[in-house]
Structure 1
């Protein structure tokens, strides 16, 4: 047992800034961060996302420029989402080798071969109805959607994606994608599974960014009930069993309990998605002078690391890099 006051004075370890740094329990580096980016058709297109200040829909040429800037800042990985020129009923457009994300991957790899590219795999951006899979009898059909997801994953890997990240929340999709990748010679391509993806109001600004709002109903038949923590662990365990190399919890801030429980139980690489609504709340409060933006950003990031997160997907990544680089 530790001695009590006045013998014990924990503040002794807080008076000096050098000592505070020396004994800090949680570390943060640019190796921890992944920047989400949105690629769209066109040329010299940099369309502001109104609900996410400082973020843009980027044409392929602008996407490459953005990746060069990120690389110069020390950000080594990006997560790509696509805004296609056309959509269809089941998202088949995303399976084509000339689809917009595939174009973006090839362009980045040509100019920045060392940039680590993670390709989001889902159908919501590519379907006319905005849901994450094929609609049969008014609902997203799980098993037919697996076919599209697997084909999309193979096409993205063929384009040069370093990692596949399925975000659809269909049952069995990790196993189906792993099988398809392996059968097509991509057994070395890892999968980062959106394992515990909750049906959340924090996704609001993303709907603008990806132009993917559902045209009817909602996504609660496939995304998770935010009240359920034990179920999240079952989903994570299932994805690990099916072949996920990294598991993710999304959103991040309201689910740090799930992150901590999963890290403690499974001890696998853990990612957290600091999502659009979480980003935009900080930006709005900062713009109104209610919070110190840089301080609150770093508090959030260290909190996620302390909870057990290994990789942080965040729209704050660029600003974090500037803070860590003292720019």
Structure 2
């Protein structure tokens, strides 16, 4: 019996051939780098559950953004952690709040770097929930004006993109209306349209100091078993004015990323979240895996699933390897 004429291994026999025919490629321009900004001066506090990631005072956040920019990473995503927290999350929308100041300083230092702001109240409330509490529950409609105020003050400070992560109903429309009302019509919205109630957020809660003081977030974040609901949330947010759509987490939701990518014509962003990062770091530190190789394989899988951009704590190290 003659050997088959097709030999797929022909195109795998050298690194140059493999690279030439590779279907999915990564570049530093695919990444968005999250930063956790805190009050104070000269603060660079390690986050124990996320090796290599820090709580940063504003000047250190600027330095970190400069490093990312130099490596070709086009954007940072800012989370603010204030010294003062209250039931209304008032520092979230204060004009001189921590995240608003960080936006101004990064844009002053790096006018060409895109600054995205996570819009949610959980880091700013003393109860750790994503909105104001009424009757022991997050009050959806009463919270929307506060999220809108936060979006406006951040955009006025210079934020290039507003990214609401609260998962409350109607918040994209409310934020779009508020931005348009103050003539910030050109500021796009990157909606956390598909955000699951996930155990993969554990290390983030330490980094952002946003652990709920009671209950959980399952009444507004999505059930991990659902994908049709993800498509519904995507459709609704685009109807309300979202310019980009996010799926969070990424690694256990590659099928969801793929379904959303097939559904929409707007850019799709995936969030390679804290525990996805921390598991790689912990296993690498124990010598169980090749950390760099696994990191790039995971990031490639997220892009291959259909994500146009990836929010990842690996941004700097991945950019260095790819550079």
Deviations 1:235-270 (A, max 9, x none): 011111111010000000011101101111213210
Q: Provide the C-alpha distance between the structure 1 equivalents of 2:83 and 2:101, rounded to a whole number of angstroms.
A: 12
CA gap of 1:5–1:167, structure 2 versus 1, over 3 A, is farther
Q: How far apart are the structure 2 equivalents of 1:66 and 1:9?
A: 47
Distance 1:111 1:253 in 2: 34
- Equivalent-residue separation in structure 1 for 2:88 and 2:254 (angstroms): 34
> Cα distance, 1:141 vs. partner?
0.5
Partner of 2:8 in structure 1?
Answer: 10
2:255 match: 257
1:297 maps to which residue? 295
Q: Which residue of 2 aligns with 1:153?
A: 151
The CA deviation at 1:71 is: 1.5
The structure 2 residue matched to 1:49, chosen from 47, 50, 72, is 47
Which structure 2 residues correspond to residues 23-62 of structure 1 after superposition, within 5 A? 23-62=21-60
Aligned CA-pair RMSD: 1.0
Stretch deviating more after TM superposition (261-270 or 290-299): 261-270
Q: By how many angstroms is 1:5 displaced?
A: 5.4
Deviation at 1:91, TM superposition (A): 1.3
TM normalised by structure 2 equals: 0.98
d(CA) in 1 for partners of 2:313, 2:157: 25
Q: 1:180 offset after TM fit, Å? A: 0.4
Q: How many residue pairs are counted as aligned between the two chains?
A: 322
Task: Indicate the residue corresponding to 1:266 in structure 2.
Answer: 264
Q: CA offsets per residue over residues 11-30 of structure 1, 9 Å max, x none?
A: 11111221111111112111
Structure 2 CA distance for aligned equivalents of residues 268 and 285 of structure 1: 36
**CA distance in 1 between partners of 2:206 and 2:15 (Å):** 43
Give the stretch that moved more between structures: 18-27 or 251-260: 18-27
Change (3 A) 1:5 1:181: farther
Q: What secondary structure, in the 3-state scheme, does the structure 2 residue paired with 1:318 have?
A: helix
Report the secondary structure of 2:218's partner residue. coil
Residues 207-234 of structure 1 show CA distances to partners (whole Å, capped at 9, x for unaligned) of 0000000000100000000000110110
1:264, 1:51 → 2: CA distance?
35
What is the CA distance between 1:92 and its match in structure 2?
A: 2.1
| SS of aligned partner of 2:233 | helix
Divergent runs of 4+, >3 A? none
> Partner residue of 2:66?
68
**TM-superposed deviation, 1:66:** 1.1
Q: Secondary structure at the match of 2:204?
A: helix
After alignment, is 253-262 or 66-75 more displaced? Answer: 66-75
Q: Alignment partner for residue 95 of structure 1, among 93, 102, 105? A: 93
| TM-score, normalised relative to structure 1 | 0.97
**Is 1:140 paired with 2:138?**
yes
Q: Distance in 2 between matches of 1:233 and 1:265?
A: 8
Unmatched tracts of structure 2, length 5 or more? none
Q: 1:16, 1:67 → 2: CA distance?
A: 37
Q: In the alignment, does 2:284 pair up with 1:286?
A: yes
What's the offset of the Cα at 1:53?
Answer: 0.4
Partner Cα separation in structure 1 for residue 258 and residue 43 of structure 2: 40
Aligned pair 1:223/2:242, yes or no?
A: no
